[in-house]
A and B are shown apart, each in its own frame.
Chain A
């Protein structure tokens, strides 16, 4: 079946511009995570959506970052007024999140470069 997809796969933007990154999770998965990963570094948690619960935004690094998940499916991560330090790979993962299945399935990521 189809896995998690993300678009665009690569994005180059100029400092100060806004960008939108999209994640299409696996159909039926109730949990959706966004992570950021800089070269050679670990996963940095950004935000977590679980069903109809309020999202856990505790990992968003600044108010320039926001995310929404419409209809419990597609999610968009928006970065406003991008800075060079925002350059990284942005990974999305979805999970069924029932009590017996919490495996996260990752998308291929969006590589963001801010010039």
Chain B
């Protein structure tokens, strides 16, 4: 089982729709969770850090479910510009210096 897993998609939704996708992680001791966005032929950029209480930034909401070991990203009122690949990242905390691990990404395409 991969340490961090995502549904690769693509998710193809109409503009204005609400879309959500999850990212599961295998190590229950994981701390530090992130969502990154990667546009085509560009580098990934941080979208949101995910806190235990969940957090919201405009149309984007990220949540952490420790019991089921997943994080989620919800996008409301989707825009054409939201089309991108969304990568989740997790620090499994095997040690104080353990590396962040990325999922393989979920492709999102918003259609007019």
Chain A residues with a Cβ under 8 A of chain B? 33, 35, 41-43, 45, 48, 50-51, 53, 56, 91, 95, 102-109
Number of B interface residues, CB 8 Å? 20
Q: Are B100 and A104 in contact (CB under 8 A)?
A: yes
Encoded as 1 (CB less than 8 Å from any A CB) or 0, chain B from 69 to 112 comes to 00000000000000000010101000001011111110000000
Number of A-B contacts (CB under 8 A): 46
Q: Are B87 and A42 in contact (CB under 8 A)?
A: yes
Q: Of B43, B89, B97, B104, which contacts A50 at CB under 8 A? A: B97
Q: Residues of B contacting A42 with CB < 8 Å?
A: 87, 102-105
21 contacts between A and B (CB under 8 A): A33-B99, A33-B100, A35-B102, A41-B104, A42-B102, A43-B102, A43-B104, A43-B105, A45-B102, A48-B99, A50-B99, A51-B97, A91-B44, A95-B100, A102-B32, A102-B34, A103-B46, A104-B46, A104-B100, A106-B44, A106-B45
For the residues of B in contact with A, the DSSP-based class is strand
Q: Of B34, B42, B101, B102, which contacts A103 at CB under 8 A? A: B34
Q: Of A53, A105, A106, which contacts B97 at CB under 8 A? A: A53
Most buried by A among B32, B43, B49: B43
